[in-house]
Amino acid sequence: MIKMAKIVHVQTVLMEDDIQALKLKTGESTTKEAITKAVTHYLECEYTKVEDMFAKKLEKVIKRKQEEEK
């Protein structure tokens, strides 16, 4: 049996500058696609599951740099 995905329409208020920056960063021309891409990335990103994602990411970068120097 195939489980059907439930689609929900959502609305929010965002600053116009934030939307433009999101479109630029995601490479999308529409607000809808930019937000969809950002949400998908957030849900799939390994760092969002960590309590302090920035510290974990920095730790990984430092480790990689140290390995490159060897």
Predicted confidence (pLDDT) per residue in 4-58, tens digit: 888 889 999 999 999 999 999 999 999 999 999 999 998 888 777 767 777 777 8
What's the number of domains the chain is made of?
1
The residue segments making up the domain with residue 37 are: 16-69
Is 4 contained in some domain?
A: no
Domain-located, residue 56: yes
61 within domain boundaries: yes
pTM of the model: 0.63
Alpha helices (runs of H) in 1-70, residue ranges in sequence order: 16-26, 31-44, 53-69
Assess if residue 3 is contained within a domain. no
Residues whose CB is less than 8 angstroms from the CB of residue 47 and which lie 6 or more positions away in sequence, other chains included: 53, 54, 56, 57
In a domain, 64, yes or no: yes
Structure tokens of 4?
């059907």
Return the pLDDT at 21: 96
20 located within any domain: yes
**15: which 2 tokens?**
């600053």
